[in-house]
A = this chain, B = another copy of it.
Amino acid sequence: MVRVGVLAGSGYIGGELLRLLLQHPEAEVAYATSRRYAGEYVFRVHPNLRGVTDLKFVPFDASKLAGSADVVFAALPHGESVKVVPQLADAGLRIVDLSADFRLGDSSQYPVWYGYDHPRPDLLGKFVLSIPELNREQVKGARLVASPGCTAITTILALAPLIRMKSLGVDTEHVVVDAKVGSSGSGGKPSLATHFSERFNVVRPYKPAGHRHAAEIEQVLSSVAGVRVRVSMSAHGVNMVRGILSTSHVFASGELKSIDIWKAYREAYSGSHFVRIVRDRQGPFRLPDPKLVIGSNFCDVGFEIEERTGRIVAFGATDNLIKGAAGNAIQSMNLMLGFDEKAGLAMAPLHPV
């Protein structure tokens, strides 16, 4: 059994890490930290875990916690993780970081997207940005891993096979990403904007321009494509709690043949249990829909072609807290430690829900 620690276990991603790790056949939760809830039972903060665990939150104390876990999951906010994680990394711990602080390979991008100078640019090269379906082998050998943002994972998995197809002639300068996101993606802190009466029934453009996940998406897709990819991204809050649908509109100058594109997806994900290709002729769910991945680590991908406008529409759907965050992080740990990639993550989605 590997001993895992969870930093910032009181947020929604922290709660999901705990829920999944507590049920993981190869892991035991050594500790979960929370500044605010130190001393409190975990189930007081995550009431779903009542009857599941008697763990209490502890304060973060690097020296005390150092020897008690083999792997640390850091679910700290952007800008906080970078203050804490370097010393843990220096101490030789395996780390899966879920903040943005170690996602970008180029330190010059931190002032641009996140407004701070990265104090440890040397570490950036040592962190692997993990999307196992794209860089499984790299993750297997890693000790330090960053897990991408939820809309980033969802979008990248939907677009990578397309972007890679040279024959399509994708216009990589004008990739439009229009994301629809459940409320849990914006965390657990109450505000007027998240007050139920104000948030119910909305389709709210909450980040129409300058979405930070665009940086990660561009980094990965540019690497995949071998040319610069520019992502024009807008995100909307919709009337649900869990789930993301990422819709990408891609213009292409080549011939758009359904069978070729289908093959590209099949080849890209043939060995990847957690990516399902959805493209049906009938039934209510012909293309990816977040409703069908809730509670699972699946990312559903699919596409449609519009010949008239030379456009491919690519869809990705995830449970933002699982494949979009905690699940992808645990999947990464499984690879790092040589476990079955699916360990602790094989639960099928709930339906209907």
A195 touches B197 (CB 8 A): no
Interface string of A174-205 (1 = CB under 8 A from B): 10101010011000111111111111111111
A183 touches B196 (CB 8 A): yes
Identify A47's interface contact among B19, B209, B292, B306, CB under 8 A. B292
B-side contacts of A309, CB under 8 Å: 174, 230-232
Give the shortest distance, in Å, between A201 (CB) and chain B (any CB).
5
Q: Which residue of B lies closest to A349 (CB)?
A: B48
Give the shortest distance, in Å, between A202 (CB) and chain B (any CB).
5
Give the shortest distance, in Å, between A291 (CB) and chain B (any CB).
5
The reply to whether the CB of A219 lies closer than 8 angstroms to some CB of chain B is no
With A306-B232, A351-B47 as known contacts, state yes or no: A188 contacts B197, CB within 8 Å: yes
Q: Pick out which of these stretches binds chain B: A67-75, A90-98, A162-170, A236-244.
A: A236-244
Q: Which residue of B lies closest to A22 (CB)?
A: B348
With A209-B311, A276-B50 as known contacts, state yes or no: A347 contacts B197, CB within 8 Å: no
Give the shortest distance, in Å, between A275 (CB) and chain B (any CB).
9
The reply to whether the CB of A335 lies closer than 8 angstroms to some CB of chain B is no
The reply to whether the CB of A224 lies closer than 8 angstroms to some CB of chain B is no
The reply to whether the CB of A208 lies closer than 8 angstroms to some CB of chain B is yes
Identify A289's interface contact among B203, B283, B288, B315, CB under 8 A. B203
Given contacts A19-B351, A52-B348, A203-B290, 20 further A-B contacts (CB under 8 A): A50-B292, A174-B174, A183-B196, A183-B197, A183-B200, A188-B192, A190-B191, A196-B241, A201-B243, A202-B291, A203-B240, A204-B287, A205-B245, A205-B247, A205-B286, A208-B315, A232-B311, A238-B239, A242-B352, A295-B350
B197 touches A284 (CB 8 A): no
Chain A interface residues (CB < 8 Å from chain B): 12, 15, 19, 22-23, 44, 46-52, 174, 176, 178, 180, 183-184, 188-205, 208-210, 230-232, 234, 236, 238-243, 245, 247, 249, 251, 273, 276, 278, 283-296, 298, 304-306, 308-309, 311, 313, 315, 317, 346-353
- In the complex, what distance in Å separates the CA atom of A176 from the CA atom of B285? 23
